[in-house]
Amino acid sequence: MFVGFHDRQLDDKGRCALPASYRREIDDDHCYVSLGDDGCVTLRRAVDFEAHAHETIEKQKRGEISQLRRRQMATNSSIASIDKQGRITIDERFRAHAGIAPGSPVIVAGNYDAIEIWKPERFLTVEAEGRDEEPARAWED
């Protein structure tokens, strides 16, 4: 599980250092990067992404989603390597989607089965919107 958030900064090459706790959860030297919802960059473990990809293929074969949707999901994702320092390079296309640039601050946030990389101002807005929703507190019942 990926939880919490961390202040980070992209280096001049567009690399982001992942928190050590997140790197341990990835347990591989690569992951998948996708254009995330709400204007973030989403990282997923290879095993999780590939399982979802296989589900997507089956849904398209059953007619539950279109070939266009399947293609959109595949073309807006990429394999990314994690270097020995625990950094991941975020390509320009993904940075543009999230409004982040080399040398800029970012928020690296856990979203249970995914890691999200945000422009700080956007993260604060989305996080506040989530707080304003009616809380689902099943664990407090």
Please write the tens of the pLDDT for every residue from 54-72: 999 999 999 999 999 999 9
Q: What is the pLDDT of residue 132?
A: 82
Give the start-to-end residue ranges of the domains of the chain.
5-131
Give the other-Cβ count within 10 Å of 86's Cβ: 16
Helix (H) or strand (E) holding 131, with range, is helix 120-132
Give the mean pLDDT of the chain.
93
Reported as a single tens digit per residue, the pLDDT across 99-137 is 999 999 999 999 999 999 999 999 999 998 888 887 665
Q: Which residues contact 10 (CB under 8 A, 6 or more apart)?
A: 16, 90, 95, 100, 101, 102, 103, 104, 106
Nearest Cα to 98, choosing from 10, 4, 29? 10
Q: Whole-angstrom Cα distance, residue 97 to residue 99?
A: 6
Q: What is the pLDDT of residue 136?
A: 60
The b/e string for 49-67 (b: 16+ C-beta within 10 A; e otherwise) is beebeeebeeebeeeebee
32 by DSSP, 3-state: which?
strand
CATH number of 5-131: 3.40.1550.20
Q: Is the pLDDT of residue 138 over 90?
A: no
